[in-house]
């Protein structure tokens, strides 16, 4: 499968997930609002996601995918599958006791994570209960991530990309169906998180079996391949731990601010995650196994070209998305969330955080295109060092904004954005210094034209906002239609300017969507 088709496949299903996720967040905002119950639930939701970076998308996947690709190419499917099952057994051995210990120690864990909640005992007690209900999600999603690495390794991107939809559907169903029978919606949402993880695990387990890579549980064994996996995963785990500390500190800062700050940051991040998820995560997911195979085969030129195209693809969508989120932050939050328990003050607080997060969006996407250049070469240390530098910068900025300004949630979001830019510059600089990445003339030329097209789109959006603002003053059908109209105008403006500036053309899209030379074709039994 070509890079373009792989990105399109992952991105399409991720877009579907984000759309369903919007519905989920609309339901959550209406039921939970932006007060104490919402803060307690979002702290509970963050906790398993912190450790998910260590056991799932972070350390394990970054180390596992290149090694699985090596086994697949060198030893065949059976050797790769044996390695995957050994990794699976080791992961289960670590995950289950870890989860049991954390659930038992939850009050002490949350005292460190969100000390500000201690000032409100009711909110703190709810956070402990919600966290205990939701924490088993970590086990299910970590195992699901391993299954996803196996499926991505055999180019089954769609089956993996669709899984987040299950979590969103589970949350919506739980909140709407269980809230009337429970003390508050936070209990229902926490139950929905665990159910969603269970559904994702079951779906990918069944997908592996259906595609001939069944992940049965075997006895854990210490082998050379498992040792190599741990050696590669350890630096990423440390980096994930450092990043986790940074995210935890964001929650610590937010917990020290007025009630509702944690919720505001959550809702803002959810909107910022739409382009990041659709574009950035799609690029990272598709690029890593492709680069691993090409570098293994000695196709260095093709690998560099694919990394250039991945960066180009990321900028193509992230630049206009960043400007649009910055410009549309307030009307977007109002139209999507301002109903039920979500009040106008919550809108202003959340919109300001979203605008600050939008500043870093292109950097976050570019990082997703750069890190596979290290992981595919089995270099997991360098991204760790870059992450430590960026996170240290983030912590310093948070402290500065917290103690010497009144930016509150804006300061937390802005610190994350600026740290993202530092991370992107460090990773890109190192790749170029090592001659692993050389921005070609096409990338440089088109990036410049993308900036021009984005500025032009911004001017059109400004005019459209003036005309549509009366419609978007309320979160009713008129508000939705007004927001949709402005978004359509922005997309059309960027598309027309992009066509005029020859940023992309149809013939090139057809080319990148075709299977490229050097990419392993699917075996007959892998055909959909």
Predicted TM-score of the model (pTM): 0.67
pLDDT reported for residue 203: 92
Q: What is the pLDDT of residues 84-105, one digit of tens each?
A: 788 788 888 888 898 999 999 9
Which residues are CB-contacts of 481 (< 8 A; sequence separation ≥ 6)?
471
User: Is 377 part of any domain?
Assistant: yes
Q: Indicate the number of domains in the chain.
A: 2
Q: Is residue 396 part of a domain?
A: yes
- Note whether residue 17 is domain-resident: no
State what percent of residues in the chain have pLDDT above 70.
80
CA neighbours closer than 13 Å in the CB half-sphere of residue 316: 23
- Both 67 and 150 in one domain: the answer is yes
Residues recorded for the chain? 528
Question: Residue 92 falls within a domain, yes or no?
Answer: yes
Q: How many whole angstroms from its chain centre is CA 405?
A: 29
Over the stretch 437-461, which tens digit does the pLDDT of each residue have? 899 888 999 999 999 999 999 999 9
Are residue 311 and residue 273 in the same domain, yes or no? yes
Give the dihedral of Cα atoms 238, 243, 244, 247; nearest 10 deg: 170
Residues 313 and 238 in one domain: no
338 shares its domain with 189: no
Q: Are 408 and 430 in a shared domain? A: yes
- Domain for residue 18, yes or no? no
Same domain, 362 and 483: yes
Is position 331 within any domain? yes
Same domain, 439 and 495: yes
Give the span between the Cα atoms of 49 and 370, in whole angstroms: 23
Which parts of 286-426 are beta strand (E)? none
Range of the domain at 358: 260-518
Is 389 within the bounds of a domain? yes
Over the chain, what is the mean pLDDT?
Answer: 80
Residues 243 and 266 in one domain: no
Final residue of a domain: which of 223, 248, 273? 248
Which of 213, 248, 283 terminates a domain? The answer is 248
Side-chain-facing half-sphere of 119: CA atoms under 13 Å: 10
Residues 217 and 264 in one domain: no
* pLDDT tens-digit series, residues 168-220: 899 999 999 999 999 999 999 999 999 999 999 999 999 888 877 777 777 77
State how far the Cα of 513 lies from the Cα of 95, in Å rounded to an integer. 39
Instruction: Mark whether 236 and 300 lie in a shared domain.
Output: no
Q: Do 205 and 274 belong to one domain?
A: no
In a domain, 54, yes or no: yes
Q: Which of 200, 216, 248 is the last residue of a domain?
A: 248
Assess whether 488 and 407 both reside in one domain: yes
Alpha carbon distance 57, 371 (integer Å)? 13
């Amino acid at each position: 499968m070509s890079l373009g088709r792989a990105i399109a496949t992952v991105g399409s299903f991720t877009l579907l997930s984000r759309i369903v996720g919007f519905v989920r967040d609309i339901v959550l905002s209406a039921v939970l609002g932006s007060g104490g119950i919402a803060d307690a639930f979002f702290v509970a939701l963050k906790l398993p996601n912190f450790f998910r970076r260590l056991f799932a998308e972070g350390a394990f996947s970054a180390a596992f995918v290149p090694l699985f690709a090596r086994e697949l190419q060198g030893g065949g499917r059976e050797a790769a599958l044996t390695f995957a099952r050994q990794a699976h057994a080791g992961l289960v051995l670590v995950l289950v006791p870890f989860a049991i210990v954390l659930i038992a120690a939850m009050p002490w864990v949350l005292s460190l994570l969100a000390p500000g909640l201690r000032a409100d005992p009711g909110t703190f007690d709810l956070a402990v209960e919600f966290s205990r209900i939701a924490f088993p999600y970590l086990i299910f999603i970590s195992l699901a991530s391993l299954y996803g690495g196996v499926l991505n390794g055999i180019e089954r991107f769609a089956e993996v990309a669709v899984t987040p939809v299950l979590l969103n559907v589970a949350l919506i169903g739980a909140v709407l169906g269980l809230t009337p029978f429970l003390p508050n919606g936070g209990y229902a949402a926490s139950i929905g998180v665990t159910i969603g993880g269970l559904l994702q695990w079951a779906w990918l387990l069944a997908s592996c079996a259906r595609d001939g890579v069944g992940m049965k549980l075997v006895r854990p064994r210490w082998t050379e391949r498992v040792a190599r996996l741990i050696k590669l995963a350890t630096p990423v785990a440390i980096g994930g731990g450092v990043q986790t500390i940074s995210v935890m500190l964001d929650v610590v800062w937010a917990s020290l601010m007025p009630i509702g700050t944690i919720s505001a940051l959550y809702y803002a991040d959810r909107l910022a995650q739409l382009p990041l998820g659709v574009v950035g995560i799609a690029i990272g997911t598709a690029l890593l196994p492709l680069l691993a195979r090409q570098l293994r085969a000695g196709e260095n030129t093709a690998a560099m070209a694919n990394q250039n195209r991945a960066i180009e693809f990321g900028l193509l969508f992230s630049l206009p998305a960043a400007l649009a989120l910055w410009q549309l932050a307030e009307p977007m939050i109002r139209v999507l969330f301002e109903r039920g328990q979500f009040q106008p003050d919550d809108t202003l607080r959340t919109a300001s955080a979203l605008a600050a997060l939008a500043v870093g969006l292109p950097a976050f996407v570019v990082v997703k295109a750069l890190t596979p250049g290290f992981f595919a070469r089995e270099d997991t240390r360098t991204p760790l060092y870059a992450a430590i530098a960026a996170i240290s910068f983030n912590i310093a900025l948070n402290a500065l904004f917290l103690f010497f300004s009144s930016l509150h949630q804006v300061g937390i979001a802005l610190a994350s954005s600026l740290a993202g830019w530092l991370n992107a510059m460090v990773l890109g600089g190192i790749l170029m210094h090592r001659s692993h990445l050389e921005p070609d003339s096409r990338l440089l030329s088109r990036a410049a034209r993308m900036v021009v097209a984005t500025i032009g789109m911004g001017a059109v959006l400004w005019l459209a906002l003036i005309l549509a603002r009366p419609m978007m003053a309320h979160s009713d059908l008129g508000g939705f239609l007004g927001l949709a109209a402005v978004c359509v105008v922005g997309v059309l403006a960027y598309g027309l300017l992009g066509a005029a500036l020859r940023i992309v053309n149809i013939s090139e899209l057809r080319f990148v969507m075709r299977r490229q030379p050097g990419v392993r074709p699917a075996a007959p039994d892998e055909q959909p």
